[in-house]
Amino acid sequence: MFLYPLIIGIISIMSPFLGLILMMIYIARTIGDSMASPWKHLVLFFVVPIVLLFLDATPGTQIMSLDAMVSVGLTSLIFVSLLRRNQVFSEAFMVSCLMIVAYGLLRFQLFKTYQADTFEQGIVLLKQQLPALMDNAMLSETLPMWKMVMPAMWIVTQGFALLIGFVLFQNALKVPNTIANMRFPSIYNFLIVAIMPLYLIEETKLLFFNALIGLCVIPFLHGFSVMWQRLAGIFANRIILSIFMIIIVLYATILIVLIGFGDMWMQKEKSLPGGTAA
C-alpha cells in the first residue's frame, strides 16, 4: 500500500480533482501512519510531479506538475497535519481550502498567458465541433465573463474535490459528523474585508473578483449547514429535504453564501466544532 501515494501522484498530474479525492481516501485508510508521520507517509506522492517539473519546462507540464504538488499533495499534508495537531475536522478543512484558494490565485498570476491561450483554443475547437452551440447569442455574450473568472472556477472545482474527499474521509473513519454540522469561525470573514482594497486598484480588480468567489466556498458551506439544520426541523423526510436543498443550491446560491456570512458574524464564540479524529 506504500506505493499508492506514487500512483495517486501520477493520477493527480492528469486530474487534480480525482487525485485529491483519492488522496483523502488513502489518508483515511492509513490514518494511523498518516497521523504519526504525515510527510514520511506521503513523500512518494511528490516524486513524479517533481521529476516532471524539472525535466519539462513547457507551461502545460509545469502547471500540471504544480497542480498535483500543491493543490493535492501540499493540501493533503496541511489537512492531516492540522488534524494531527488539534483533531478538529472543520479547522483542517478550512485551512486546506484556503491553501487551494491561495494557490489558485498564484496559479493565475504565474500562468495567465498560458491559461488565456488555452481558453481561446478551447473556444476555437468548440466552434469547429459544435457550431450551432457557439452561435447562441447568450453563450457568446457570457464567454468574456467565463474567461475572467477562470481562476475562480478552478478554485471552486478543486474545493468541491476537497469536499467530496472530506466526506469520504469521514465515512471511511465512520465519523458521525457530516458537512451539514460544520461551523467555521467568524474571523474568516475578515479575509473578505482584507481583500477589499484590491477592488480599488484597476490592475487588481480581476484578482479581487476571483479571490472573492474563491473565498465564498467556506461561507457557502456554512450557509448550507445552517439551512440544512433549519429545514430539517420542517421536513422530517430526508429525501424531500435533500431535493429541497438541491433546488436552493441551484437557484439561490448567493442567498446561501449570505446566510453563511451572516451566521459566521453572529457567532459569539469562535469555536470550531467538528469532532475528533478518534
Tens-of-pLDDT digits for all 278 residues of the chain?
668 889 999 999 999 999 999 999 999 988 887 788 888 888 899 999 999 999 988 988 999 999 999 999 999 999 999 988 887 888 889 999 999 999 999 998 888 888 888 888 877 777 777 666 656 666 667 777 878 888 999 999 999 999 999 989 988 888 776 666 677 777 788 888 888 888 888 888 889 999 999 999 988 988 888 888 888 888 878 888 888 888 888 888 889 898 888 888 776 444 444 444 43
258: amino acid identity, one letter? L
Asked whether residue 273 is domain-assigned, the answer is no
CB-CB contact of 53 with 96 (8 Å): no
Asked whether residue 84 is domain-assigned, the answer is yes
The HSE-up count of residue 8 (CA atoms within 13 Å, CB side) is 26
Domain that holds residue 56: 4-266
- The torsion angles phi and psi of 196, rounded to 5 degrees, stand at -55, -40
Asked whether residue 278 is domain-assigned, the answer is no
CB-CB contact of 77 with 42 (8 Å): yes
Asked whether residue 178 is domain-assigned, the answer is yes
Asked whether residue 9 is domain-assigned, the answer is yes
**Domain count along the chain:** 1
**pTM exceeds cut of 0.75:** yes
Residues near 34 by Cβ (< 8 Å), separated by ≥ 6? 27, 41, 42, 80
CB-CB contact of 231 with 247 (8 Å): no
Asked whether residue 276 is domain-assigned, the answer is no
* CA angle 218–139–245, rounded 5-degree value: 35
Asked whether residue 31 is domain-assigned, the answer is yes
